A and B are shown apart, each in its own frame.
Chain A
Amino acid sequence: MALKIIASQCTGCSACEPECPNVAISEKGGTFVINPKKCTECEGQFDSPQCVAVCPVEGCIKPA
C-alpha cells in the first residue's frame, strides 16, 4: 500500500514534502519521489493522503 508521484507531472514545487507524516517524500533530480516502504497513504493518520490533498497537479500522485 503506497502512493507514487508521476515524475512527468511533478512541478517540483515541494509542497508535498513537509506534509508527509512519514517523511517518505524526498527530492530526486528536480522532482519528488515517495519511498514506498515508508508510505502508509496516511491510513489512520489523516482523512486523506496529505500529498494528494496539497498537490497542485490533478492526477500527479496515484496508487503505486
Chain B
Amino acid sequence: MSQATAFVNIGDLRKGHQALSEVIETPETGGGCGTSGGEGKASCGTSGGPDDMPAEIWEKVKNHPCYSEEAHHHYARMHVAVAPACNIQCNYCNRKYDCSNESRPGVVSQKLTPEQAVKKVLAVASEIPQMTVLGIAGPGDSLANPKKTFDTMRELAEKAPDIKLCLSTNGLALPDQVDEICKYNIDHVTITINMVDPEVGAKIYPWIFWQHKRVTGVEAARILHERQMLGLEMLTARGVLTKINSVLIPGVNDEHLIEVNREVKKRGAFLHNIMPLISEPEHGTWFGLNGQRGPTAQELKAVQDACAGGANLMRHCRQCRADAVGLLGEDRSEEFTLDKIEEMEIVYDLDKRKAYQDKVEVERQAQVEAKRDALAAAAADDGVDPDMKVLVAVATEGHGKVNQHFGHATEFQIFEVSKGEALFVGHRRVDLYCQGGYGEDEALPSVVGAINDCHAVLVAKIGACPRDELKAAGIEPVDEYAHEYIEKAALSWFTGYRERIARGELVHEVRGDASIRQGAYTGAAEEAA
C-alpha cells in the first residue's frame, strides 16, 4: 500500500483493529516528520535541535514541553482553569464537563479566580523547578474569558518572569485579542482548527455565538474558519509561535486534515498536532452519543505521516486536562488543590530554578550525544534491508531514559527506529499492570493491544509472567538497556535485531494495528479513585 492510499483507505484499516491478534498488512508509512534521514537535517520542530531553526525560535521552544519533543522529557507545564466560558459548541465536547478532547473528560476541574491561579502557579513553580510553562487552556475558551485570562497573565509576567506563557483558543475571538496577547509577551498560542472547509465544519460545530447571535450550520463554520485563518496570519505577522491542534474524526475530517495541514503551514503555523477523537458515550458528547468512533493508532499515524512535509507535526501531545500539572503524561494537580496551596509557604526563588534547569541542560546534552553515537553505530552495512523501520515501545519515568518497570507503566512512548533515526512518534496509555506488587492478568491484554504494532518493548525490569505473554504476542520484552538513554537503547536493540536477522536466527515480520485508549490522561487522580 502506498503512502498516498494509506490515508484514503482508512476504513479498511479498521478491520485490523477488530482483530488485533491477527497480523495484518501494515501500510508503508511515509517518511514521518524528520525521518527522511538521507536529506540531512530533520525539519520537524518537535524533534529539531538548535541547528534546525533560527536562534530566537530555539530560545522560545527549547524549554517548552509542548513545542519541543526533546524538552518534553525534561520540562513540565501546568494549566490553570480560569476560563470556563466558551463561545462555540463542538460535537466532541460536553460542556457539563471540561472539554473531553483537550482536557480530562468526566471531571470538572477546580475553577480558579485569577488571584488563586497566580498563587497556584507560584506554589507549583517553587516546588517543581522544571515547570517552565504556564498555559490557559480552558476549560472553555481562553479568549472567550479575556479579562480572567489576561488578568492572570499580567500578574504572572510580573511575578514569575522566567515562566513562558501560552494559551489555547478556538480562534473565534482571536483577531480581536492579538494586541493583548503580544502585550503580555504570550509567545505561544494554540489554535484548534479541525477544518478549512465550512461544509466539513458544519459536521463538527453545531453553533457559534457571534455578534450577539447564535449562528448555526455552514454559516457558523464559515465565520469560524475565516476568524481562525485571520487570527493565525496576525499571530505569524507578530512573531508569535503557533501550534495548531486538530481532532482527527474518522469519516468526517481524516483526509481533510491533510488540506488543513497545508493551509496552516502556508500561514506560518509552527507546529501541527493531530490528536485522536475521544468519544466514549459516557462523556455525553454528541459524537459519543451518536456512535462516532475515534481512530486507531494506525489510522492516526497514517494521517500524521501523510502530512509529513507540510507543517511540522507534534506527536507527543497527551491531551491533558485544563488544570494539569507536571511533565506531559503526568498529572500532579492533586498535590496543588486550593486547600493545599493555602497552607504552603511560597518562596519564588529564581536562582534555584535556574540552577536546576542548568542541570537539566547537561543531562539533555548527554542524551543528544548518546543518540549521535548510537546512530553512527547503527549506520554500518549489515546486509539486511536498509529501509527497514520498526516501532519500539518504551517505559520511562522521564529524564529521557529507559527507567520504568513494565508493571508500573501507565503509558508507553513509541519510537520509530531505522538505520538513520530513532524518532518519537507517539505515546500509548495503558492500564497499570502491576498493582500492589502483583500482576493483573486482566490488564495485560489491554497493554498488548496498545503496543501491538511494536516489535519490542524496552523496560527497566519485567516479571516472568508478562515476559512470556508478550513473547507469545510477538512483542520482544527487552531489559538489557535499563537506565540508558531512550534513543541509544532503541538503536542498540535495533542493531542487534538486524544482526539476528543477518545470522538467520529470526525472520522479520510486520506487526498489526494497535488501539488508542479512550479518555484523556488521568494520571494520579484516576489511580486514587
Interface set of A (CB-CB < 8 Å, partner B): 11-15, 19, 46-48, 50, 53-54, 56-57
Contact = CB atoms under 8 A, between A and B. Distances in A.
Contact of B84 (A14, A46, A47, A57): A14
Given A48-B214, A53-B213, A15 B96 contact: no
Given A56-B95, A57-B95, A14 B212 contact: no
A9 to B, nearest CB: 9
B95 A14 contact: no
Interface residues of B, number: 17
A53 B214 CA distance: 5
Q: Chain B binding site: helix, strand, loop or mixed by DSSP?
A: loop
A53 B88 CA distance: 10
A56 B97 CA distance: 11
A57 B93 CA distance: 11
A12 B111 contact: yes
B209 interface: yes
A56 B214 contact: no
B213 A15 contact: no
The 9 tightest CB contacts between A and B, nearest first, are A56-B95, A15-B85, A53-B214, A13-B84, A54-B209, A14-B85, A13-B85, A46-B212, A14-B84
B145 interface: yes
Interface string B203-220: 000000100111000000
B144 interface: yes
A11 B95 contact: yes
Contacts of B145: 14
A56 B214 CA distance: 11
A36 to B, nearest CB: 22
Contacts of B95: 11, 13, 56-57
A46 to B, nearest CB: 5
9 contacts: A14-B84, A15-B85, A15-B209, A19-B209, A47-B212, A53-B212, A54-B87, A54-B209, A56-B89
A56 B89 CA distance: 7
B144 A47 contact: no
Contacts of B139: 13
Contacts of B84: 11-15
B214 A54 contact: yes
B198 interface: no
A57 B173 CA distance: 21
A56 B285 CA distance: 12
